[in-house]
Amino acid sequence: MAAGPARRALPLILPSLLFMTALFLLPLITGVAQAFRGPDGLTTGYLRRMVDDPYFWQAARNTALLIVVLIPLQFALALAMALLLRERPRLAGLHFYIWVIPLAISDLAAGLVWLSIFTDRGYLNSVLDAAGISPYAWLSFQHPATMFLAVVIAELWRATSLVFVIVVAGMQGVPRDYDEAAAVFGASYWQRVRHVLLPQLRPSLQVALILRTILALEAFAVAQALTGRNFPLLVGETYQWYTALQNPNVATAVALVVLLLSVVAAVGYLRLMRHGPEPGR
């Protein structure tokens, strides 16, 4: 009996299936074939060449470090901005539009903006020089800590607005009745945020967490503009292998690593945030 409805539903979902096959499945199959097929058939030579490259492990370490440091900072800042906006200050709409301006700026343009600040003759060193402090080579390969700090600050400025917009959208669906009831029973502001608001925001936070982790794994243009290859990232290595080293097979192998990490992160977040009481309970 279920075959009839299923047969009628097939023409409705067929365009979506064809679209997803053309958009995702076929490129994925092509990429896997390119990473594992050599002139003499199946091979793991491209994978071995990838893992033997010291830049690969440095890029993997830098990408992991960027995610571990950047994402908690972005969520803390986005939540703080959303909570401030929730209190409906004067000119709240203007504040919102100012905070989301970085969404309209491309990754490369954002990197160039911050390059003008951190470069040896940039605005930051000009201010230090005017204050009588010796300029500092912030982006020198001899100073990896400040180079990493510059990338974090640039990415924090560029991408926090995405989390902010998702959190603000989620807050629109949270009834204020729960918050007011908790206040009547003597809950403090931070208790209401922790036990009332955040559980209601779990779906929005989950979406934002998955998106930001995947986008952080794909970070490239900002770091490339600021540091070149002095601060390699995984997606940057696909660019290097494809353009500079003229080896699309190894480039595809690195891209598949990024894809695998993105899938593992998304599945892990979904399983982790699925457990626990439902929001509002």
* Phi, psi angle pair for 143, to nearest 5°: -125, 70
Helix residue spans in the chain (DSSP H):
3-20, 26-36, 45-52, 54-86, 92-99, 107-118, 123-130, 144-172, 176-184, 189-192, 198-200, 202-217, 221-227, 234-239, 248-274
| CATH code for residues 34-103+161-274 | 1.10.3720.10
Q: Is 137 exposed, middle or buried (0-12, 13-18, 19+ CB in 10 A)?
A: middle
From the list 39, 82, 65, the residue with the least C-alpha distance to 205 is 82
Return the sign of the alpha-carbon dihedral for residues 100, 106, 107, 113.
Answer: negative
Judge contact between 149 and 194, C-beta under 8 A: no
The pLDDT confidence band at residue 33, using thresholds 50, 70 and 90, is: confident
pLDDT at residue 230 is higher than 50: yes
Over 50: is that where the pLDDT of 280 sits?
no
Confidence label for 58 from pLDDT (cuts 50, 70 and 90): very high
In this predicted structure, the answer to whether residue 10 has a pLDDT above a threshold of 80 is no
CB distance 45 to 38 below 8 Å: yes
**What is the mean predicted confidence (pLDDT) over 79-87?**
86
Confidence of residue 3 (pLDDT cuts 50, 70, 90): low
Kindly report the average pLDDT of the chain as a whole number.
Answer: 85
Closest by Cα among 22, 101, 28, 54 to 258: 28
Q: What is the pLDDT of residue 200?
A: 85
**Taking the complete model, does pTM exceed 0.95, yes or no?**
no
Cα 219 to Cα 63: distance, rounded to the nearest angstrom: 8
Where do the domains of the chain lie? 34-103+161-274
